[in-house]
Structure 1
Amino acid sequence: MTATAPVPGPVTLRRIFALAIPALVVLAAEPVYVLVDTAVVGHLGRVPLAALAIGGGVMSAAAFLGNVLAYGGTGRAARHYGAGDRGAAVAAGVQSTWLALAAGVLLAAFVQLFAGPITRALAGNGPDSGQIAAESETWLRVAILGAPFILVALAGQGWMRGIQETRKPMYIVLAANLLSAVMVPLLVYPAGLGLVGSAIANVAAQAVSGLFFLRAIAAEKVSLRPDLDALRGQLATSRDLIVRGLAFQVCFLSAASVAARFGAASLAAHQIGLQLWMFCAFALDAVAIAAQALIGADLGAGDADRARATARRVGWMGVVSGGFLAVVIGVGVLFLPGLFTSDPAVHEQAYVLWPWFVAMMPVAGLVFALDGVFIGAGDVAFLRNMIVAAAAGFLPLIWLAHILDLGLTGIWVGLVVFMVIRLTALLLRLRGGRWAVTGTAA
């Protein structure tokens, strides 16, 4: 018997907010925890904070891979949901979960094998680089054990968003991150584990979250067997998103590696700026998540005109959200760096990158909203090509900053250029309209 779902009605601001607000809570929970982690570790000193920047950069690869599965799963599930077939939407989530579990195990094994060379390469040959690499390797070997749980949890969020179930993921993610936020200061300081305590708290939160999402999909009463044909179809979709994610990782790891070559203070300040940027990016992604679910449902229901109207509306919401965050971050320069470290040298470097951080926010709001539109539409080949092209423009600027000794200014100017290139390509694609393909398959 096929489960059914109501055919979605017209997209209103209320419907967008009903999806975006719980998604915002989920998306913000992880970076808020990371900010807490950064603040706790930051008071151990500049070297542990720099080591966390290196290890956290590698761990972000797991989060990006999980988001690939989540975003692909949202679009597929949303199309079936929009066509009135909830059972097929959940079945797509089962296959995403199998992919997540396999990818997480492979990633954990790879990093265990190569943690030393990876951290030494990223730490470079700047001041304190040997100590930074050693502490980063220790942290990473523990933290990567959570990779399978990270990917399963993100895949779970993806299919649940596709069926427009937003409350359950919110409760799961909040509970897991609250547990971790409590554990971090206890393990780092009273328990005396230092930086390793941070890694253990990470794994604990990820395990709790992943197990709850596995329980949620088991409760749906659909077949939990892997379907090879469905898995191949999902891999074909995920392939383009994986290339896109890898391009992101090359960009951000390159930025961290160049920052390391300017010294521990520059890398620590870059870590603070980057984690705040990630927090803002996840907050802005709430609009993108709503766009994925709504665009997928509109196109699954066969209504391309409504999908285009939804795209315009979420685009404007992205701009407004980015502008609001620009104001908040601009005022935050007065106190935010001090929350993470008391080191004056790190504060000085943070003030260097701050204007560029603020300038990116309105651009990022529109970029992320339109990313959500095209992911929901299944237009992933375009997103792959666009990100690869943007990375090709960004990477020379980053390494030129190193060659010319431009410091964090050069790195963050490169990040601004990266966002502008993406925005230009997205607006041209939106105007063309070829992305609005109706039916249950993109």
Structure 2
Amino acid sequence: MTRSPSVLSLALPALVVLAAEPLYLLVDTAVVGNLGTVPLGGLAVGGALLAWAAGLLNFLAYGTTARAARRAGAGDRTGAVAEGVQATWLALALGLTVLVLFQLLAGPLTRLLAGGPGAVAVAGEQWLRVASFGVPLLLVSLAGNGWLRGVQELRRPVRYVVTGSLVSLLLCPFLVHTVGLGLIGSAFANVTGQALTAALFVRAIAREGVGWRPRPAAVRAQLFIGRDLLLRAVVLQVSFLAAAGVAARAGTAQLGAHQIALQLFFFLALVLDAYAIAAQTLVGHALGANRPADARSTATRVGLWGLGTGLLVAVLLLALRPMLLPLFTDDPAVLAQAEVVWWFLAGMQPVAGVVFALDGVLMGAGDVGYLRTVTIGAAVLGFLPLSLLAGPLDWGLAGVWTGLCLFVALRLVGVLVRVAGDRWLTAPATVGT
């Protein structure tokens, strides 16, 4: 019998893919930042809108992984690759729709996010109109990541994503400064890298020799999974926006500290999400091969990996706090507020590690309907009420971050209860094929 790959051997390549885009954005921000505050503000506005759209549609990776892994586990590699073909068609359709919407609404959206008309809104609109041509390409890459993860090939996505990111990294300063395109050069570099990455993923499917004919039933089944993951993502976005609004009303120092801690939370979530991707692949294969005991064993292993990594991250955050915080700000008021939030950020990491890992277990089993319900319930009962009450009750950032901690804790209870039972082992991941 073929030995299953280890959790770590799948998680490490996944982490590289997850980290490539944020690291590129950091370099892009540094390059554009040398142009001045207006181009930097335009990049922030346009980039936020693009990231928001990509975040809502990342079900193309997660949903495809679950379905492809189930087929690959059953010995049907052709069927697993076919899931990638259908996901690619869906990615193109959704990407072109988003592209058209951004071309029509770029002006109003950037003015809304920039707080009204002005130089920053104009710069953001110009950047978004060019960069949005990369949306269909980005979604095609998400679909490609999905089916390759499903067949337990995680090294190829690393090569493809890193290749595209390196091209963007080299082009960005060249187009922005050497050629003199300014902010628009950043957008062209972004699209060029995404085009190369998408082309590599499409070539990978073409080499498998699977037909390219669209199959409406398979696309509908992927949309069925996508609907639940999309609703889940929308609730998450609304919750974080509400928390940011409360922090902004509390004061400039509170907002600055909240932004620092939140960006660290998102970055650390990428690290812990690598276990979720490994879990998806392993659980999907085990259930596809009708080995529920292996799926349950995987749930235990990734949960422990998530817990251990979360504990390590918490210790490092607390130990390195005196060195890390000054890297973000030297404002005494912001530092004082960040000190308060830091304890919440560190304390939630072990819990978040288990939650994210077990999220991947349930996604791999196709149990996304339950995940949707748990996430929405935890947001409505925990995150949103405490965040919104933090303002009128003068709880400040402590109230907002207590809400975030409760949100993660409620999700932990929900996923532990589910994984302890048996229903997730029979979730219909391949409905509609």
1:224 Cα deviation from its structure 2 partner: 1.0
Q: Give runs of aligned pairs for residues 262-301 of structure 1, distance below 5 A.
A: 270-301=258-289
1:169 paired to 2:157: yes
Match of 2:422 among 403, 409, 433: 433
1:143 Cα deviation from its structure 2 partner: 3.0
Contact 1:300 1:440 in 2 (8 A): no
Q: What does residue 221 of structure 1 align with?
A: 209
1:70 paired to 2:61: yes
1:111 paired to 2:134: no
Match of 2:350 among 353, 362, 366: 362
Q: What does residue 249 of structure 1 align with?
A: 237
Using CA pairs under 8 Å that are at least 6 residues apart, name the structure with larger relative contact order, 1 or 2: 1
Q: What does residue 4 of structure 1 align with?
A: none
Query: Which piece of structure 1 moves more, 270-279 or 377-386?
Result: 270-279
1:412, 1:197 → 2: CA distance?
A: 38
Q: What does residue 360 of structure 2 align with?
A: 372
Show CA shifts across 1:385-421 (max 9, x none).
1122122232333334455565554443332222122
Structure 2 spans left out of the alignment, 5+ residues: none
Q: What does residue 3 of structure 1 align with?
A: none
1:397 paired to 2:386: yes
Note closer, same or farther for the CA distance 1:58–1:409 as it changes in structure 2 (3 Å cut): farther
2:354, 2:378 → 1: CA distance?
A: 16
1:174 Cα deviation from its structure 2 partner: 1.2
1:120 Cα deviation from its structure 2 partner: 4.3
State how many pairs are aligned: 430
1:253, 1:350 → 2: CA distance?
A: 19
Contact 1:57 1:253 in 2 (8 A): no
1:296, 1:122 → 2: CA distance?
A: 40
Note closer, same or farther for the CA distance 1:45–1:26 as it changes in structure 2 (3 Å cut): same
Note closer, same or farther for the CA distance 1:122–1:257 as it changes in structure 2 (3 Å cut): farther
Contact 2:38 2:120 in 1 (8 A): yes
Structure 1 spans left out of the alignment, 5+ residues: 1-6
1:247 Cα deviation from its structure 2 partner: 1.6
1:190, 1:404 → 2: CA distance?
A: 53
Note closer, same or farther for the CA distance 1:439–1:17 as it changes in structure 2 (3 Å cut): same
Contact 1:353 1:408 in 2 (8 A): yes
Contact 1:80 1:297 in 2 (8 A): yes
Match of 1:235 among 201, 220, 223: 223
2:249, 2:34 → 1: CA distance?
A: 22
1:427 Cα deviation from its structure 2 partner: 1.2
2:425, 2:226 → 1: CA distance?
A: 19
1:163 Cα deviation from its structure 2 partner: 0.4
Q: Say what the alpha-carbon RMSD is for the aligned residues.
A: 3.2
Show CA shifts across 1:246-271 (max 9, x none).
22222233344555556777656544
Show CA shifts across 1:342-380 (max 9, x none).
777766665554333222221211111001000000001
1:49, 1:257 → 2: CA distance?
A: 22
1:415, 1:44 → 2: CA distance?
A: 36
Q: What does residue 146 of structure 1 align with?
A: 134
Query: Which piece of structure 1 moves more, 162-171 or 100-109?
Result: 100-109
Match of 1:59 among 41, 47, 50: 50
1:204, 1:227 → 2: CA distance?
A: 30
1:396, 1:169 → 2: CA distance?
A: 40
Tell me the percent identity.
Answer: 53
Letter in 1 for 2:306: G
1:194, 1:274 → 2: CA distance?
A: 29
Contact 2:367 2:427 in 1 (8 A): no
Show CA shifts across 1:142-172 (max 9, x none).
4333211111111100000000111110111
Contact 2:366 2:429 in 1 (8 A): no
1:243, 1:104 → 2: CA distance?
A: 18
1:166, 1:245 → 2: CA distance?
A: 24
